[in-house]
């Protein structure tokens, strides 16, 4: 069973940082949509990503990432970039793919995630 969670699931009045930490603590996989905005986020760089990388090391959490837009992921987060991207070619992020090819790329990303989840 797959339960999808993102920070939009945090309800008004919840302690948002506690909710994020609780979700990271039980996650079996993480899908990071990589853009320069993600790279520039101090919270992701200082809080979320180190916890995910530690969970991958200690609990085997699967880390998936998709190059959504051009970024400096290789320079700024080499530990994340060490994981194989879900894109066919992460040097060509989703934002640079025409709509016809984009549909094929989404299908390939889906197949890759499904194959890992079904193991």
Model pLDDT for residues 17-41, shown as the tens digit of each residue: 888 888 888 888 889 999 999 999 9
**pLDDT value for 95:** 95
> Is the Cβ–Cβ distance between 39 and 65 less than 8 Å?
no
pLDDT at 10: 81
Q: What is the pLDDT of residue 33?
A: 94
Residue count (the chain): 119
Whether 2 shows a pLDDT value over 80: the answer reads: no
1 band by pLDDT with thresholds 50, 70 and 90: low
pLDDT band at residue 114 under the 50/70/90 scheme: confident
Structural domain spans, the chain: 27-117
d(CA 56, CA 60): 4
Cα–Cα distance between 81 and 72 in angstroms, integer?
10
Interval 62-113: pLDDT, tens: 999 999 999 999 999 999 999 999 998 889 999 999 988 999 999 999 898 8
Cβ atoms 29, 20 nearer than 8 A: no
* pTM of the model as a whole: 0.84
Query: What pLDDT score does 18 carry?
Result: 85
Position 15 scores a pLDDT of 87
């Amino acid at each position: 069973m797959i339960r999808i969670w993102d920070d939009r699931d945090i309800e008004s009045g919840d302690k948002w940082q506690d909710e994020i930490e609780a979700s990271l603590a039980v996650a079996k996989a993480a899908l990071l949509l990589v853009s320069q905005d993600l790279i520039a986020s101090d919270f992701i760089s200082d809080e979320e990503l180190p916890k995910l990388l530690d969970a991958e090391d200690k609990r085997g959490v699967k880390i998936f990432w998709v190059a959504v837009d051009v970024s400096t992921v290789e320079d700024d987060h080499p530990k994340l970039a060490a994981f194989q991207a879900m894109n066919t070619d992460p040097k060509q992020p989703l934002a640079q793919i025409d709509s016809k090819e984009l549909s094929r790329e989404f299908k390939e990303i889906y197949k890759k995630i499904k194959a890992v989840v079904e193991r």
